[in-house]
Copies of this chain bind each other. A is one copy, B any other.
Amino acid sequence: MATLKDVAKEAGLTTSTVSRILNNRGYISDNARQKVDVAMKKLNYQPNEVARSLHRKSTNTIGLIVPHIRHPYFSEMISNLEDQAYDKGYRILLCNSQSIQEKETEYINICTGNQVAGIILCSGTVSMELFEGIGIPVITMERFLGNGTASVECDNKQGGALAAQKLISCGCKNLLHVGNIGTITMPADQRTEGFREACEKNNIPFVELLTEEGQYNSMAYGELIAEALRKYPETDGLFANSDVIAAQTLQVCRKMGIVVPEHMKIIGFDDVNIASLTTPQLTTIHQPVKEMAEIAVNLLHDSIAGKMVARRTVLPVRLVERETTGFSAGF
């Protein structure tokens, strides 16, 4: 790898001059600029970002901590975040915590050790102490740390309410809600809150089904749901906290001979790809993932620049009606 020094020698200039040209500061003649251009091309010169970073004491890398990559909600989110980050000149250091505390802790250390400019945290299981006095801007997605860190969320409560209202207006009398991991508190719990309030207001009973971390990690909810449907056979409406859960519910229903939407209405959450690939297609609560990603990166960018930044940003969700709550217009 050619260095600045090599380029300088090749161009017959000093490193100071070449560096000035690269960074556009001070006096520069067109002549010198051209000579450097030629030399750079000839030597296939590529500035060493590591050296640059060392000097300026920070990188243009964002540490992105997620609990999963294969889960469609997260791959969607990661994709959007990468897009936004790239546009702003940031790179992504991909940290998959797999919801494992140890791995999360180590990844946080890796982030600080590698002098990332900031961290975007999508992970739900972190204990916030890990971020105390970390000295790096942190933006959380769907996770409120409460230690001064800015968060971006969708309006989970509204989502829960919309789901309940829809199911109720479809005539469902006995609802089941497949919720979050029981042992961990996160903004997504608000979905249950919104759901509960709407149910209570309408005097409709509902059962809340807590999930386990293992299920979250393996994305295997089939058994859990089948059991619940056996235990609560009167269920005629189900609200799942993700489209993955909802899609698996469809499979369970089919195996049990429960016809959707005739015998059972289903609403998912997220509105990811699979929502329109199941049969029937999923009615779901749409999360504005793209906007959330954009806002997150913007917040981080401002935060890195030392600007003051909104503590909490909540974006609206909307109900997308497909087929699991009734016949679609298309048929």
Contacts and interface: CB of A to CB of B under 8 A. Distances in A.
Interface of A: 1, 44, 46-51, 53-54, 59, 61, 64, 68-70, 72, 74-76, 78-79, 82-83, 86, 91-94, 96, 98, 103, 109-110, 112-115, 133, 135, 219, 244, 247-248, 250-251, 254-255, 273-274, 276-279, 281, 330
A70 B109 CA distance: 27
Contacts of A277: 244, 247-248, 250-251, 274, 277-278
A63 to B, nearest CB: 9
A274 B53 CA distance: 42
Nearest to A59: B50
Nearest to A280: B279
Tell which of A75, A93, A135 has the most Cβ of chain B within 10 Å.
A75
Contacts of A76: 70
A112 B46 contact: yes
B50 A115 contact: yes
A45 B190 CA distance: 38
Identical chains in the assembly: 2
A254 B278 CA distance: 11
Nearest to A243: B277
Tell which of A112, A114, A278 has the most Cβ of chain B within 10 Å.
A114
A276 to B, nearest CB: 7
Nearest to A277: B247
A46 B330 contact: no
The list of the 7 closest CB pairs from A to B, nearest first, reads: A75-B75, A69-B79, A279-B279, A94-B94, A247-B277, A92-B94, A49-B113
Contacts of A47: 113
Contact of A330 (B50, B61, B135, B255): B255
Given A86-B96, A247-B277, A250-B277, A51 B54 contact: yes
Contacts of A247: 277
A123 to B, nearest CB: 14
A115 B251 CA distance: 47
18 contacts: A1-B112, A46-B109, A49-B115, A68-B79, A69-B82, A70-B79, A70-B273, A75-B75, A79-B96, A82-B94, A82-B96, A83-B96, A91-B93, A91-B110, A93-B94, A244-B273, A250-B279, A251-B281
Contact of A1 (B75, B93, B135, B281): B135
A70 B75 contact: yes
A54 B51 CA distance: 6
A97 to B, nearest CB: 10
A49 B279 contact: no
A83 B103 CA distance: 11
A251 B280 CA distance: 9
A251 B274 CA distance: 11
A108 to B, nearest CB: 10
Contacts of A54: 48, 50-51, 54
Contacts of A278: 277-279
A133 B78 contact: no
B44 A133 contact: yes
